Amino acid sequence: MEKRFVAPLTEPEQQTLTSAYHHGEKRALRRRAHAILLSDQGHTINQISEILQVRRDAVSRWFKQWEVSGFDGLIDKPRSGRTPALDEHDHKRLQALVAEHPHQIRALQARFQEETGKSVATVTLRRALKKKWS
């Protein structure tokens, strides 16, 4: 099996990857940056996969993404998913309604439905309120 490494990194690339590794917001980005840095230090794909506890093909895929797109290739792309039941306007409306019905989730739910026409489960309302005030 041939040993594969990324091309030697430039100083700005090393700085960008080191910053992403130490301060990256997402764990996946930190892990991918670490893999590229380890490759630059001479570690093989097998060694990197053992260090990071990931599959060999994942490390190989990160290398390809790096070679094709650079740093942007390491960042997760937005994924599709269900749209939120409540938008920012709904959250603001909920905050106003909580002042009227602070401890009555069912009354809050009924009033919210009257005003917005949206039927939202009590669990969704609790989650939204918890997120806003936690």
Segment 85-117, tens digit of pLDDT = 888 888 888 888 888 777 888 988 999 999 889
> Residue 74 belongs to what H/E stretch?
none
Residue 2 CA to residue 56 CA, distance in Å, equals 13
Tell me, what's the pLDDT at 1? 52
Q: pTM higher than 0.75 for the full model? A: no
pLDDT, one tens digit per residue, over 2-12 is 567 788 999 99
Classify the C-alpha dihedral 46-65-28-43 as positive or negative.
Answer: positive
Vertex 70 angle, CA 77 and 7, to 5°: 140
Total Cβ atoms within 10 A of residue 37:
19
Residues contacting 22, CB < 8 A, separation 6+: 30
Contacts 24+ apart (CB under 8 A), 101-109: none
Q: Say how far apart CA 81 and CA 85 lie, in whole Å.
A: 12
pLDDT grade, residue 65 (50/70/90)?
very high
Percent of the chain surpassing pLDDT 90: 54
Cα-based distances in Å from 2 to 5, 45, 46, 50, 125:
10, 10, 11, 17, 55
Listed in order, strand segments (DSSP E) in the chain are none
